[in-house]
Structure 1
Amino acid sequence: MSKHIIVGGGVYGAAVAWHLASRGEAVELIEAGTIASGASGGPGRRGVRANGRDYREIPLMVRARELWPGLHESLGTAPLYETMGQIQLFEREIDLAPAEARAALQNRLGIESRVLSQSEVRELEPDVAPFIRGGLYCPGDGVAFHKTTTLAYADKARQAGAILREGVEAARLVATNGRVTALATTQGEEIPVEGKLMLFCNAGVKDLVAPWIDLPLWSRTFLVAVSAPLVDNPVRHLVGHASRTLSLKREPDGRLMISGGRPGTWDAATRRGTPIQREVDLNVADAVAVYPSLEGLKIETADTDHLEAECIDHIPIIDNLPGNEHVLYAAGWTGHGWAIAPAVAELMRDWVLEGRKPELLEPFAYGRFG
């Protein structure tokens, strides 16, 4: 039996390792840091959101929604996912027509969606500011504990026989006449590629495949701010905003998570991020503007320690390396690959076992760039 090599110990690497090992495949996963130390880690819960997604991702989201509610049973953990609904608020008249068009598209693709009037928003979120005109609502959306989920996948992979090695960083792909034969690590080890080599190290994929292709990706670190516990947290749903850089999540302990895509600074040498106070202040200001009762909100944690890879067209690239059908990669999740992870992991497993790319992954091919 050929051994499959996986690079990256985030949710994709851990989930695919489990799926393959549980089918009797030999799997070795290497992770530069520790499992879930990258974009799959961090504080709080992460949104499991269909609302506002690129239409090419929605079929993946339909399948992911079937998996999320019972995933904890498959992984043998406490519940990981909570359905709470997602509302994308809007305050400008010009955002109404796009919301109506997106609701029609999402309903057609199997995601229940509807546009809320001003009064309907207030029925669901009584504390929003008076200037909020309406919202796009997906009642089936929710949140999940991302680090806990990733660690649970990793534990199941180990139990199924996969080898997971932490503190082992991929340096380059070793090739003969353009064909990859081994994976070199920064410690000087060369790991032979016998079966499939899968690159799920997100921000690190671009450099590894650079001798073959130039992926239109870049890396950023995003701010995740978490408040001190609130006596009365006014946010009842997963909340986004059509024109503000704002995403709000209510945590089980009463804290409020504020995110949405504001940047931090990244130090490649230390692999740590540093929050930018102005960006923290702007995130809080937007939250207070939309929910005036949050005035005086205190931020307890400002996290920018998780590097993310963004793609030029805001959806991931999932493909095999030119001339190397045995080398598969997935990168450029652009901050929203988490929700579809259970579905994509299944499809990557099928690709490895059946030897052909699943149809649902075709829209994410590198060839879309011409």
Structure 2
Amino acid sequence: MPGPYVVPVHGDEELPKECDVVVIGGGIIGCSTALELAERGLRVTLCEKGGIGKEQSSRNWGWVRISMRDPREVPLMAESLRIWEGLDKRTGRETGFKRAGIVFICANEKELADHERWRTNLDGYQIESRILTAREFGDVVPGSRLDMSGALYTPADGRAEPQKAAPAIAEAARDKGATILTECAVRGVETSAGAVSGVVTERGAIACKAVVLAGGAWSSLFAGRFGIDLPQLKVLNSVMRTKPLEGGPEQTIWAKDFAIRKRQDGGYTVACGHHNIVDIVPASFRYAAAFLPALRSEWKSLSFRLAGRFVDELRIPRRWSMDDASPFEYHRVLDPVPSKRLTQDALGGLKRAFPVFERAEIAQRWGGYIDVTPDAVPVISAVDAIPGFHIATGFSGHGFGIGPAAGRLMADIVTGRAPAVDLSAFRFSRFTDGSKVELISGF
């Protein structure tokens, strides 16, 4: 079944001959970067090989959360929550953002203690987050049969509509003067004296002084063509949505067996709370050493399979001429088949926890590829080897909520403005400078 319906964004017809910055990728990260740069008066061109928001930016769960994030992302996510609050007004469009709170269920006392320790990461941010007892959870979220020791509840967390957000931000960037090009793959970057001087697209060349690669799961392939080794793999997440259902919880909830978010249409987005599929592909062997620490920590939550995706990616060339069609022109949208078993398991767990979902009707299932880094922290960084080249990718399933702030940070880097948060955790050079690349388990 194809992916979810995404609010269409019609690309501009005219290819500019030059601009200040080219953004590669029309997901929420690329669109947010383009909006920030355009608002600062730069001439921006966003190039998307397919459609705006058609890959993981529209296929994610729609959570806008600071709770239970990797502590290294907390300062940036605090900024993102502030941006989301005013995003509809800023863009003049609806993103579906609402502060409805997110609840993480603690099945036992150890999990409860772990969540209480995590909560200290919010000290000083004036963001309400507290531990609920099982009885208090019943008062906050009625109608549950969950067996638990308690829960972490963060009322400041929110939700939004993935199928609306990236398109709204892209259109706002165009309102501010950005050029939005769809079905316009970038084949490569041109340099002069070692620095960025332009890009070559399937529709022609664009001169520029800066490029931002926000290509999601495609970023490693693109970067590798130009000698930039970006360790990145893909994880398949399977999602379903229900038809509108009355009587379900308002809060977004994570539990071991399921994760749910109420949608604007009254239905629910449902996914497995702890399990994903990893296709073994050629890049799995290339980056095995880099990802080994993460695999040791997270292997219980991953199902590895050797299937058709291995052959599919084996056929994709890693080198190509900029005079010929690139792989991105033959693969406009990643639209993987979801796991029916995982989505059914999630729905079963949800029905056991909330009997109201016995009446739920499945409207659609879809799959999406999450782009992950070895430490599950994104790269938001300049690339020292090529002045003017920047990367914003590897958000490891955390990109939707943090996207608006990631775009602001990327714009700060491109323009040389003092960033609002410490850049060190997101620097690209951490993979090559001898730093310990560490996955903080559980986030």
The answer to whether the superposition gives a TM-score over 0.5 is yes
1:68 aligns with 2:131: no
CA distance in 2, matches of 1:301, 1:206: 30
Structure 2 distance, partners of 1:355, 1:62, is: 19
Q: Distance in 2 between matches of 1:106 and 1:24?
A: 34
| 1:245 shift after superposition | 5.2
Question: Residues 117-136 of structure 1: matches in 2 within 5 Å?
Answer: 117-136=133-152
Number of aligned pairs? 363
Match status 1:341 vs 2:403: yes
Asked if the contact 1:223–1:262 (Cα under 8 Å) also holds between the matched residues in 2, the reply is no
Give the gaps of 5 or more residues in structure 2: 1-17, 280-308, 314-330, 435-443
What displacement does 1:199 show? 0.5
Which of 8, 33, 37 pairs up with 1:16? 33
Indicate conservation of the 8 Å contact 2:196/2:209, yes or no: no
**Is 1:87–1:238's contact at 8 Å kept on the other side of the alignment?**
yes
Choose from 247, 252, 269 the match for 2:264: 252
1:153 Cα deviation after fit: 1.5
Structure-2 change in CA distance of 1:61 and 1:191 (3 Å): same
Aligned counterpart, 1:214: 229
Partner of 1:298: 361
Alignment CA distance shift 1:359-1:238 (3 Å): closer
Tell me which of 425, 429, 441 is aligned to 1:363.
425
Q: Is the 8 A contact 2:107 2:149 kept in 1?
A: yes
Unaligned runs of 5+ in 1: none
Q: Does 1:167 align with 2:183?
A: yes
Pick aligned residue for 2:392 from 302, 327, 330? 330
Query: In the TM superposition, what are the counterparts of 1:149-298 in structure 2 within 5 Å?
Result: 149-175=165-191, 179-185=195-201, 187=202, 189-192=204-207, 194-210=208-224, 211-233=226-248, 235-241=249-255, 244=256, 246-259=258-271, 260=273, 262-263=275-276, 271-295=334-358, 297-298=360-361
Change (3 A) 1:357 1:64: closer
C-alpha deviations, 1:219-253, integer Å up to 9, x for none? 133212111222332x2201112xx1531111233
- Mapped partners of 1:42, 1:152: distance in 2: 16
Match of 2:63 in 1: 47
Residue 156 to residue 287, structure 1, CA distance change in 2 (3 Å): same
Task: Provide, for residues 32-51 of structure 1, a one-character-per-residue CA deviation record: whole Å limited to 9, x for no partner.
Answer: 101111222248x7111011
Contact 1:212–1:322 (Cα < 8 Å) also in 2: no
| Range 162-171 or range 345-354, more displaced | 345-354
Alpha carbons of structure 1 residues 320 and 312: separation in structure 2 relative to 1, 3 Å: same
Give the 3-state SS of the residue equivalent to 2:250 in structure 1.
coil
- TM-score norm. by structure 1 comes to 0.89
What letter matches 1:213 in structure 2? I
Task: Give the conservation status (yes or no) of the 8 Å contact 2:30–2:214.
Answer: yes
> How many Å separate the matches in 2 of 1:261 and 1:26?
42
Per-residue deviation at 1:130? 4.6
| 3-state DSSP of counterpart to 2:189 | strand
Amino acid at match of 1:72: D
Letter in 2 for 1:237: Q
Q: TM-score, normalised by structure 2?
A: 0.75
| CA displacement at 1:195 relative to structure 2 | 1.6
The verdict on how the C-alpha distance between 1:328 and 1:335 changes in structure 2, with shifts beyond 3 A counting, is same
Aligned to 2:416: 354
Alignment partner of 2:261: what SS?
strand
CA distance in 2, matches of 1:108, 1:355: 25
Q: Percent identity?
A: 26
Instruction: Flag the 1:293–1:155 CA change in 2: closer, same or farther, 3 A.
Output: closer
